[in-house]
Amino acid sequence: MIELRTPAEIEEMKAAGAFVASVLGELKAASAVGVNLLKLDSIAAGLIRKAGAMSSYVDYHPSFGAMPFGKVLCTSVNDAALHGLPFDYRLRDGDVLSLDFAASLGGWVADSAVTVVVGTPREEDLRMIEVTERALDAAIAAAQPGARMGDVSAAIGTICRGAGFSINTDFGGHGVGRTMHGDPHVPNDGRPGRGLPLRAGLVFAIEPWLMQTTDRIFTDPDGWTLRSLDGSRAAHSEHTIAITDDGPIVLTARG
């Protein structure tokens, strides 16, 4: 069911968005060569406790997960594209790391992701990350009241395909509210002028993600981490936005 939020509720959701953005900022700063993924998860857990927030991940158990997630942060490294389950791994020079974090504060959820290169970057990795960020910006710009969800999806697809990437549409954006995942679904490719009409009060996450040389994935033996089928690297960018009469507001905007 799709729910529309009142202006007052959207105002309340800003606190959750700001918290998620601040945690990702701290995690990004802490992501360095030699840092363990479990340490990053521990940092996020500590920030959740300090803020009086609640993790949206730790007890999360959808049909595609082998068990409850058990951690508060997704850490997807190199060929891991999505849902990276933190494990005992120390980051190495040149690693591509996607940090995906969602939490509830004041009863409202926000969800966001950012991809960074640890240490010395490869040009092709920086370009892939930049394409996901540009696709995210284009999708947000297209999310205007009176437009349709297909306009948002088409904006992502146009940027990504124009940069030479193929697109996996198995996983995409989603509604956000009292829970992390809800309607509507936000595909990462689509046709303009089609789909759900966008109205003030809609709140959803937009999350373009790419893999260097494939659009096919498989599930890691950990039961959660989704990896590129050919071992190529991946990148993921995400924001939670709210549609208002004046246009989209990025609730998880980072400073």
Strands 96-105 and 54-55: antiparallel
Q: Which of 79, 99, 82 is nearest to 37 (CA)?
A: 99
Using 50 as the pLDDT threshold, list the residues of the chain that sit under it. Answer: none
- Residue 66 has a pLDDT of 83
Q: Which CATH superfamily is domain 7-250 in?
A: Creatinase/methionine aminopeptidase superfamily (3.90.230.10)
Predicted confidence at residue 255, as pLDDT, reads 76
The answer, as to whether pTM is greater than 0.75, is yes
Q: Within 10 Å of residue 211's Cβ, how many Cβ atoms?
A: 26
154-187 burial code (b ≥16 CB/10 A, e <16): bbbbbbbeeeebebbeebbbbbbbeebbbebbbb
Cα(248)–Cα(144) distance, rounded to whole angstroms? Answer: 6
- CA 81 vs. chain centroid, Å, equals 11
Helices (H), 31-74: 37-51
The domain ranges of the chain are: 7-250
**Angle of helix 123-142 versus helix 149-162 axis, rounded to 10:** 160
